[in-house]
Amino acid sequence: MKWIWIALLLLMIILVGLLFIKISLRFQLEILPIDKRLTLVAYLGFLPVYRKYIDFNRIVESETELAKVEKKAEELWKQKSTDVKKRKLGVHQFLQMGRAVTVHKMNSVMRVGTGNASSTGSIAGGLMAVASLLEQLINQLFIIKKPAHFRVEPSFQVPCFHILADGIFSFRLGKAIYVWLRYVNR
C-alpha cells in the first residue's frame, strides 16, 4: 500500500514540475534547389526530448506516397474545418493566447530571382512587404526576447528561390493552461 502512495506522490511532483518548466520548440527550415528539409527539436527545460528531421525530397519521390499524403491532408483539413466552425475564437482571445508564447529567435532569409531585373524587383518588393507585416504581427502577438527579422534578398541576374529560416519558441505549460481556461474555454 505504501508503494501506491509513493507512486502517486512522485507522479504529483512530476506533474506540478511540468507546469512550471519551460517547453521550447526549435525549428530550422531550408529550401534550396537540391535540399529541402525541416528540423524540429523539442526541449523540456534544457533537455532535448523530441527530434524530427523531415526531408521533403524523400517524401515527394513517389507519386503514390504523395497521393496518400494529399488525401490524408484533405481529410484532416475537413475535420479541422468542422471543429473550427464549432468554436470560433475572437480577436481578443487569440491575442491572449499569443501572450502565452515567448519568441526567443525568429530569423528568415529569402533569396528570390527570376532572371529579369524588373520582375525580380516587383516580386521582391511584394515579398518585402509581406515580411515586414509578418515581423509586426509577431512583435504584436507574442512576447519577444529578440526581434524577428525577415530578409528578402533579390537576385537580379540569376533565377533562384532559397529560404533559410530559424526560430525558437517557448511556453510554460502552466501559463498556457491558465490562458486557455481563462480566455478561450469560457
Residue 25 falls inside a structural domain: yes
7 vs 9: CA distance, rounded Å: 5
pLDDT tens-place string over residues 101-154: 888 988 999 999 888 888 888 999 999 999 999 888 888 888 888 888 899 999
Cell numbers at residue 34, please?
537540391
Confidence of residue 171 (pLDDT cuts 50, 70, 90): confident
Residue 71 falls inside a structural domain: no
Residue 161 falls inside a structural domain: yes
- What local confidence, expressed as pLDDT, does residue 154 receive? 92
Residue 82 falls inside a structural domain: no
Give the count of alpha carbons within 13 A of 50, CB side only: 9
Which range of residues forms the domain containing residue 17?
2-55+89-184
**Model pTM?**
0.67
CA dihedral 7, 13, 19, 23 (to 10 degrees): -80
Q: Which residues contact 27 (CB under 8 A, 6 or more apart)?
A: 38, 39, 40, 41, 165, 166, 167
Count of domains forming the chain: 1
Residue 36 falls inside a structural domain: yes
Residue 72 falls inside a structural domain: no
- What local confidence, expressed as pLDDT, does residue 185 receive? 65
pLDDT tens-place string over residues 33-79: 888 888 889 888 788 888 988 887 776 665 566 677 777 778 877 77
Residue 69 falls inside a structural domain: no
Residue 76 falls inside a structural domain: no
